Amino acid sequence: MKTSQFRHHFSVPKHADGSEKIYFCGNSLGLMPTEAREAVEKELNRWADLGVDGHFHGNPEWLGYHRILEPTLARLAGAKPVEICAMGTLTTNLHLGMISFYRPEGKRKKILMEQGSFPSDRYAVVSQLELHGFDPEQDLIELTPDEYGLIDDDRVVETIQAHAEELALVLWPGVQYSSGQYFDLGRICLASREAGIPIGLDLAHAIGNVPLELHEWAPDFAVWCSYKYLNAGPGAVAGFFVAERHACFDGPRLAGWWGHDESSRFVMEPDFKPATGAEGWQISGAPIFNLAALAGSLQVYEQAAIASLQEAETDLTASLIEQLDSDNGPVHVVTPTDPARRGCQVSMRLRSGRSQGRALFERLSEAGVVGDWREPDIIRIAPTPMYNTQNEVDRVADMIKRWA
């Protein structure tokens, strides 16, 4: 099965002359599937027809709407339905996870993350440390990448073990946003659990892109966004995972009425009784149009019957790497070439330096190639098999070889 047979489901941005751009930016904002528009329009119509009754009437009723997403989301996350919930936004969910699972005590108060993490993650971590009255200079451990911008899985495990006595949380990415490196999350979660350290995962660049087995890996919590490979649109509703062992969590959390047990939510009791599993971390009434866009977009995943783009038959990324990566060539591919250590994103820099890299990026943009630039010197190109084609990969590889 070639997933690019699903390309016709997506709206591809166009040049002024009506020809399609070469869109390699699904790692930032995935394209709009027709199904997302239809699903949102359906809920707008139901709002027009039913008003407030939409909460309790129609199919699906808005109360519990998020549950129609569960089977597909659970498959993509490799999780049980009780462990996941489509809710909130990524950074907010990260805070919710940290409020519950970052519980510093005595010497155990530090947080480990990767140096060069997505800034929002670092802001969130630093603010959590400060909330507890700690000094990020002392209490944040950031593991530095090697000279090529990668972090070996062995080093992650060794660092966890070396700092076991002082760590209160590990926060790790599934796929690193800048390098495109996919970590051995099973090993990292196991090392953390064996050392008795709670672990949270940021799966922004992993969900839909690489295979995930969250139930088996059992991090304490995980978060993701849905606007990249899940194609649910800008600001889309995000995802939250808590391991099954925390389904009846009685530790601290930031509570809101939507996390209250659904059967008695509308009894309006003063005391909070959390819903079982990840749903218990919801705070506000569900964003129905947002959930609808995700529900529509996930229909494409249902039809493609894949859990990750890596399962797609055509490895467009391998082809792009093969055409660009050579020891003596102008391009240094940062992303690991081994398919087990990457998803579909290729991060590259020019050996000749930042300004040439920037000039190449601008030339590509002018030619209608939509990739992105990440400071200080990385060009990211993400061929997503759901809608990109071999022809597009060949064309961009050719442009880069000619202009680099």
Ligand X SMILES: Cc1ncc(COP(=O)(O)O)c(C=O)c1O
Which residue of 72, 89, 128, 335 would you call a contact of ligand X, by CB under 6 A? 89
Nearer Cβ to ligand X, position 374 or 395?
374
Q: Is 28 helix (H, G, I), strand (E, B) or coil?
A: coil
Preceding peptide of 383 cis, ω within 30°: no
65 is a site residue for ligand X (CB under 6 A): no
In the bound state with ligand X, the residue whose beta carbon lies nearer, of 54 and 97, is 97
For position 90 contacting ligand X by CB under 6 A, the verdict is yes
The residue from 70, 121, 139, 377 that contacts ligand X (CB under 6 A) is: 121
Could you say whether residue 177 binds ligand X (CB under 6 A)?
yes
The residue within the footprint of ligand X, chosen from 10, 118, 229, 258 (CB under 6 A), is 118
Q: Which residues of 34-62 are buried (b: 16+ CB within 10 A; e: fewer)?
A: ebbbebbeebeebeeeeeeebbeeeebeb
Strand order in the sheet with 140-143: 84-86, 239-242, 221-224, 199-202, 167-173, 110-114, 140-143
Is residue 182 a contact residue for ligand X (CB under 6 A)? Answer: no
Cα–Cα distance, 299 to 276 (Å, whole number)? 26
Alpha-carbon distance of 14 to 108, in angstroms, equals 53
CB of 234 to ligand X, least distance (A): 10
- Nearest to ligand X of 100, 226 (CB atom): 226
The residue (of 205 and 332) whose beta carbon lies closer to ligand X is 205
Number of residues binding to ligand X, judged by CB under 6 A: 12
Structural contact between residues 213 and 81, judged by C-beta atoms closer than 8 angstroms: no
Q: Rounded distance, CA 94 to CA 220, Å?
A: 12
Site for ligand X in 131-160 (CB under 6 A): none
Residue from the set 11, 120, 356, 389 that interacts with ligand X by CB under 6 A: 120
Name the one range near ligand X by CB under 6 A: 48-56, 63-71, 85-93, 309-317: 85-93
Query: Smallest gap, in angstroms, from Cβ of residue 209 to ligand X?
Result: 12
**Element (DSSP H or E) covering residue 91:** helix 90-101
Strand pairing class (110-114; 167-173): parallel
Residues in 204-243 that interact with ligand X by CB under 6 A: 204-205, 225
276 within 8 A of 246, measured Cβ to Cβ = no
CB-wise, 66 or 205, nearer to ligand X? 205
Interface stretch with ligand X, choices 115-123, 338-346, 347-355, 377-385 (CB under 6 A): 115-123
Piece of the chain touching ligand X by CB under 6 A; list 102-110, 197-205, 302-310, 344-352: 197-205
Q: Write down the least CB distance from residue 363 to ligand X, Å.
A: 25
Do 335 and 180 meet the contact criterion of CB atoms below 8 Å apart? yes
CB of 378 to ligand X, least distance (A): 13
Tell me which residue of 226, 233, 275 sits closest to 255, measured CA to CA: 275
Quote the CA–CA distance of 75 and 205 in Å, as a whole number: 16
The only residue of 3, 4, 72, 91 in contact with ligand X, by rule CB under 6 A: 91
> In whole angstroms, how close is the CB of 174 to ligand X at the nearest point?
9
User: Which residue, chain included where needed, has tokens 């059992």?
Assistant: 218
Residues 132, 134: Cα–Cα separation, whole Å? 6
Instruction: Tell me the H-state helices in 305-352.
Output: 316-324
User: Which range in 183-191, 199-207, 242-250, 262-270 contacts ligand X by CB under 6 A?
Assistant: 199-207
Residue closest to 184 by CA, chosen among 148, 150, 229, 146? 150
In the complex, minimum distance from the CB of residue 111 to ligand X, in angstroms, rounded to a whole number: 15
Q: Does 202 bind ligand X (CB under 6 A)?
A: yes
Structural tokens at position 376: 């200080």
Please tell me the distance from the alpha carbon of residue 370 to that of residue 26, in angstroms, as a whole number.
9
User: Of 174 and 259, which CB lies nearer to ligand X in the complex structure?
Assistant: 174
Count of residues making up the chain: 404
Report in angstroms how near the CB of residue 26 gets to ligand X at its nearest.
12
- Asked if 4 is part of the footprint of ligand X (rule: CB under 6 A), the reply reads no
Stretch that binds ligand X, among 3-11, 89-97, 277-285, 380-388 (CB under 6 A): 89-97
Binding residues for ligand X, rule: CB under 6 A, are 89-91, 118, 120-121, 173, 177, 202, 204-205, 225
